Chain A
Amino acid sequence: MLLALAIFIIMFALYLANHPAGFTPNVVQTAANKGVLLALVAMAQTFVVLTAGIDLSVGMIFILANCLASYLLVGTPVTVALGVGGVLLTGLACGALNGLLVIYGRLQPIVITIATGAVFFGIALWIRPYPGSADGFSAELADALTGKVFGVFPASLLFLIALVLLVWLPFRRSVIGRAVYAVGSSEPAAYMSGVPVMRAKFVAYVLSGLFAAMGGLFMTFFTYSGEASLANGNTYTLSSIAAVVLGGVSLFGGRGSAVGAIFGALAFRAIGDLLFVFDFDPLWQPLFQGVVLLLAVSLGSARLFQVRNRLDLFT
């Protein structure tokens, strides 16, 4: 987490120093909006990774929420609010489906979430065959959440901070939150000590779906439209894992925090943006991000140097 924070600060400082417009509220606002998008999906991934699972459908839930929101955010404030509720509920339902299949289906998360991802993407394609948005799309809420508060501070960042304070911290301190960590550390041990294993896993998947849907909602706020893009979904799934790894969340479960994942996401985004300000050919961006990801995951192998007995490698 400290590593991610350091990378983020250095990269972002470099970014600002080389940006033609410099350190202005507008630049920060744009950067924050793009960062929050990935940060939300990274938080979604964190919940599941903490239980030593993985969710390869977060990108597709994100896309589904994005497409759904492009239809539902219309009309009066009341209907918009209902629309937001509907989108979030859909995310919850997707997460719940994943959770039920993993827990009661006794299927491996990695296989099942690839399959449910195909279903979610199919539904997204069904409701939004062509990119666009519904007539009478209400932009007020979108503008409020992607704009600036008092003309200085990016509202999306405030929203993210609020989420951390209102959702993550209470979750972390709750019984179920601790159960999630316990399950990730060792499921049999957690079970033996009477931890509600199934409930903890279920809550983790549901929260994952919810946060991924929030990410999709923000995508709609940002673009005013929905698009069922397979490439985008895959990119967000991949980036969420990269962000989680950069943010110091252990893929073996039980260690790390959503705050780390947020910094991981911001750092990953800043790295991508750097190419832009240095005027690289955009064609090189996927390669550059891939290499960063590869280096980031290789960092985890530093643990190898502490191994005294070769047999420890296999445990």
Chain B
Amino acid sequence: MTTDKLDATTPPRPRWTSRIDMPVATAFGCILVLLLIGSLYSPNFLSPEYLLQQLKVGAFLGVIATGMMLVILLGQIDLSVPWAVTLGAMMASAATAYGPMGEIFAIPFGVLCGVLMGLVNGIGVAYLRIPSMIITLAVNAVAQGLMVAYTGGFAPQDSASPAMRYLAAGSVLGVPNAVIVWAITGVVAVFLLGRTTFGRAIYGIGNKEAAAYLSGIPTQRVVMIAFALCGGLAAFGGVLLAGYAGKAAQSMGDAYLLPAIAAVVLGGTSILGGRGNYLGTIAGVILITLLQSILSVMQIAEFGRQIIYGAVIIVMLLLYGREKSGR
């Protein structure tokens, strides 16, 4: 089953990834440094079990960051991820209350809710031309309001279905299922971005939307679909998280906004859109996961983690996330 993982890290290479770009190399370099620091702290750090465990924890972020990457490649941003994650988790859990049929449809239902939420974002950005930052913040607020009113008013079922638990916490031949899910997501993303017209359109729009439009790309539809995918993937991440924790909880998605954006940007994807590849996002996700893990292994209090975490991200962005100078 490790072949799936390999496929995700070594995609069928189109020419634009044939030379290693600097940000991705730097990101992998930072991973090595983190591993080194970790191994100085505890010898268990480099054991296969521990590393596999890290990949499993990182898989949730990996799925969420995949969606975020699609949107960032467009030169947009999705700030509705926190409540898309929570929405997916809660809706999938709530569906399990409706008997066996509910359990079967729990995962698709959770993801569908995320897709719908993403669709609202997408329509706002693509057709109403509202800045993505704003519409996604607003949709985030609405989703939060809906969930607060829903959970407060009706107290739904909040435990995950067996299928969700299996998908998130089970393992096949020693490889955690969550890692396999992330690998499959990654392979699909690499294929989508590198080998389909949809993927080329995303890069085109990220570079210059007007030019993409003039070359016959249905830019508005592509943008809308990308946002819908992002919402769906965030919700799927939430479904997995609910399966991992065994239940859905409010504000469980709050911890994923900065990591998702940071993972994508640290992976060398330009925040202005149009540049970046999935290999970088994988590096970014592992980087963030290791960082969080080291901070918790060192038993630093919550406030210290927030400070160090923010500071490290700023420093790494300064290292290689900068825009070109020159006006």
Interface residues of A (CB under 8 A from B): 54, 101, 105-108, 110-112, 114-119, 121-126, 129, 187-188, 191, 230-231, 234, 238, 241-242, 245, 251-252, 281, 283-291, 293-294, 296-298, 300-301, 303-304, 310-311, 313-315
Let me know if B321 and A122 touch, CB within 8 A. no
> Smallest CB–CB gap between A191 and chain B, Å?
5
Let me know if A116 and B310 touch, CB within 8 A. yes
> Smallest CB–CB gap between B320 and chain A, Å?
11
Q: How far is the CA of A289 from the CA of B146 in the complex (A)?
A: 11
Let me know if A119 and B145 touch, CB within 8 A. no
Contacts of A126 in B (CB 8 A): 303-304, 307
Please provide the chain B residues from 126 to 145 with a CB less than 8 Å away from any CB of chain A in the complex.
Answer: 128-131, 133-135, 137-145
Let me know if B327 and A251 touch, CB within 8 A. no
Contacts of B261 in A (CB 8 A): 111, 114
21 of the cross-chain contacts (CB-CB < 8 Å) are A105-B317, A106-B323, A106-B324, A110-B133, A110-B271, A111-B317, A112-B317, A114-B258, A118-B309, A119-B314, A122-B306, A123-B307, A126-B304, A245-B134, A281-B149, A283-B148, A286-B148, A288-B145, A297-B124, A297-B138, A310-B213
> Smallest CB–CB gap between B19 and chain A, Å?
24
Q: How far is the CA of A112 from the CA of B308 in the complex (A)?
A: 14
> Smallest CB–CB gap between B125 and chain A, Å?
11
Contacts of A115 in B (CB 8 A): 258, 262, 310, 313-314, 317
Closest to A235 in B: B141
Let me know if A293 and B153 touch, CB within 8 A. no
Contacts of A304 in B (CB 8 A): 128-129
Closest to A285 in B: B145
Let me know if A284 and B149 touch, CB within 8 A. yes
A300 and B130 in contact, given A115-B262, A286-B144 (Cβ under 8 angstroms) = yes
Closest to A303 in B: B129
> Smallest CB–CB gap between A275 and chain B, Å?
11
Let me know if B303 and A122 touch, CB within 8 A. yes
> Smallest CB–CB gap between A309 and chain B, Å?
11
A315 and B317 in contact, given A118-B258, A304-B128 (Cβ under 8 angstroms) = no
Q: How far is the CA of A149 from the CA of B151 in the complex (A)?
A: 44
Contacts of B214 in A (CB 8 A): 311
Closest to A126 in B: B303
Q: How far is the CA of A300 from the CA of B262 in the complex (A)?
A: 29
Instruction: Tell whether B168 is near chain A: CB-to-CB under 8 Å.
Output: no
Contacts of B135 in A (CB 8 A): 294, 297
Contacts of A291 in B (CB 8 A): 142, 145
Instruction: Tell whether B240 is near chain A: CB-to-CB under 8 Å.
Output: no
Let me know if A122 and B149 touch, CB within 8 A. no
Let me know if B152 and A283 touch, CB within 8 A. yes
Q: How far is the CA of A114 from the CA of B131 in the complex (A)?
A: 17
Let me know if B271 and A301 touch, CB within 8 A. no
Closest to A54 in B: B133
Let me know if B145 and A125 touch, CB within 8 A. no
Instruction: Tell whether B4 is near chain A: CB-to-CB under 8 Å.
Output: no
Closest to B257 in A: A114
Contacts of A112 in B (CB 8 A): 314, 317
Q: How far is the CA of A303 from the CA of B128 in the complex (A)?
A: 9
Please provide the chain B residues from 91 to 115 with a CB less than 8 Å away from any CB of chain A in the complex.
Answer: none
A119 and B306 in contact, given A245-B134, A283-B149, A284-B149 (Cβ under 8 angstroms) = yes
Contacts of B311 in A (CB 8 A): 119
Question: What 9 A-B pairs have minimum CB-CB distances, sorted nearest first?
Answer: A287-B145, A122-B306, A290-B141, A118-B310, A122-B307, A290-B142, A119-B310, A125-B303, A286-B145
Let me know if B141 and A293 touch, CB within 8 A. yes
> Smallest CB–CB gap between B117 and chain A, Å?
12
Contacts of A108 in B (CB 8 A): 271-272, 323
Contacts of B303 in A (CB 8 A): 122-126, 129
Contacts of B209 in A (CB 8 A): 314
- For the complex with contacts A122-B304, A122-B305, A298-B128, 13 further pairs of A-B residues with Cβ separation under 8 Å are A107-B323, A108-B271, A114-B261, A118-B258, A191-B327, A238-B137, A238-B140, A252-B131, A283-B152, A287-B145, A290-B138, A290-B141, A290-B143
Contacts of A286 in B (CB 8 A): 141, 144-145, 148-149
Instruction: Tell whether B172 is near chain A: CB-to-CB under 8 Å.
Output: no
Q: Produce 1/0 per residue, B186-214, CB < 8 A to A.
A: 00000000000000000000000110011
Let me know if A188 and B304 touch, CB within 8 A. no
Contacts of A124 in B (CB 8 A): 303
> Smallest CB–CB gap between A253 and chain B, Å?
11
Contacts of B71 in A (CB 8 A): none
A230 and B254 in contact, given A286-B148, A291-B142 (Cβ under 8 angstroms) = yes
A294's contact among B138, B257, B265, by CB below 8 Å, is which? B138
Q: How far is the CA of A313 from the CA of B209 in the complex (A)?
A: 10
Instruction: Tell whether B251 is near chain A: CB-to-CB under 8 Å.
Output: yes
Let me know if A238 and B306 touch, CB within 8 A. no
A289's contact among B129, B141, B153, B213, by CB below 8 Å, is which? B141
Q: How far is the CA of A115 from the CA of B309 in the complex (A)?
A: 8
Instruction: Tell whether B221 is near chain A: CB-to-CB under 8 Å.
Output: no
A287 and B148 in contact, given A191-B327, A281-B153 (Cβ under 8 angstroms) = yes
